[in-house]
Structure formats: structure tokens, C-alpha cells
Amino acid sequence: MMTNQMNKLMEYLAKAEGTNIHYNDKELDITAMYGIYRHSNPSAKIFEEIDYLAFTLGIKEKSYNWLDSHIETINKYINKRDELISKFIELAAEFYEQFYNRARLSMFHSDCVLAVASMYTTSPKLCWKSIQYGINTMNSNGIIYYKKIAVDGVAGEETIKGLNKCLYECNTRKNISLLFESYMLLGMTTEYSKLVKLNPKKYMEYSIGWDNRMKKLQENR
């Protein structure tokens, strides 16, 4: 059974990523419901079930060769059957429970969890850079008293200590959690701006994708 936190994450991912199997432009394979990209997560159990279902529907090709008509056939079949919808929700939740373990979501105030989860889904390294940016901003603005830490995307000892200080303030002072969330999101936007300046052709679409995620976060409030 999913926890309340996971239920909220799944509701957000349904809005941000969609609940159908699909291709994203320029990607090498399908993305399952709730945004699980096969090329990055080839061993995810959800793809075993999708492959089996495709085979039973007469689709013998590998998923990276599927036509739009193949994907439409599979999605229509799933969406007409409540038991399959429930099964794929459970498989997606199982994947994300393991995936988000590395994001240390328990170290964040509940007001910040969706934002951190969204950043981590986009890029674990950029997520931790944004968290480090948030910690440094909390420090420079006098909300916590700590040293400036490296913004390197590595969740090392200094980052975890700084994060613990931020969590204490989020738990004991009104609205600090929302402020910390805003600092982290600003950090993520800053990181994407740097990448776009470095290589506009490569990173512009990813930056646009992040902007869309930001809109979904606002809608989810």
C-alpha cells in the first residue's frame, strides 16, 4: 500500500508526465506512464509487463521500433481495463519508491518534497546542485549559520549537515519551508540557464521542459 507521500508524488507525476506510454522527441526508446524512460531504466519491472502486453496484442517489435499505432493500441487496451490501470500504477509507484530513496526525501519538509522529487526526476546531479544552492542562500540570508558549501551535485557530508540545519529551521519557523523550496527551485532554474548559455541547441528543450514542470508544481499547490 502506498504512503500518503507516495500518493501525492504519483498524483503530481500523473499531471507532469502523463499516464500513457509515449515517445518523447529525440529520445531513444519509449517512456512509460508516470515518466519512466526505458533507455535510462531498462530493468524497471514496468517494462516487462508492457512488453508482455504488447506481445499478447500481436506487437513483436522491440519497443524502440514501435510505431505510434502500436503505442496507441497498447494505451487503448490498458485504459479500458481498471485492473491494468491499477497494476501499472503499482508498478510505477514501486519504481519511484526505489528511485527516490537516493534523493533522501525524508530529509525535507513536506512542503519541499514535491519540488525535490521533480528536480530529482529531471536530473539527480542538478537536483543536488540546486539543494546546495538553496543551502548556501539560506546561509547567506542569515536563516541558518553555516559555511558556504561547494555546488558540485554530490550529497557529501557538508551538504547533509547543511541540509539538516535547513530542515530544523523549516520545522521550527513559519513559512521557512516555502522559502527554502523557492531557493532550491531558483537554483535549478539557474543551473539550466548556465547549460543553455553553454550549448543552446542541446539544452534549450530541457530548459523548456523544466519550465513546464515548474508550472505543474504551481498547479499542484
pLDDT, one tens digit per residue, over 193-207 is 888 888 888 878 777
DSSP 37: E
DSSP 62-118: -GGG--HHHHHHHHHHHHT-HHHHHHHHHHHHHHHHHHHHTTTGGGS-HHHHHHHHH
pLDDT, one tens digit per residue, over 69-82 is 999 999 999 999 99
Q: At what angle do helices 110-122 and 176-198 cross, to 10 degrees?
A: 10
What lies within 8 Å, CB to CB, of 206 at 6+ separation is 122, 192, 195
What pLDDT does 220 receive? Answer: 64
pLDDT, one tens digit per residue, over 113-129 is 989 988 898 889 999 99
For the four alpha carbons of 179, 185, 191 and 196, in that order, the dihedral sign comes to negative
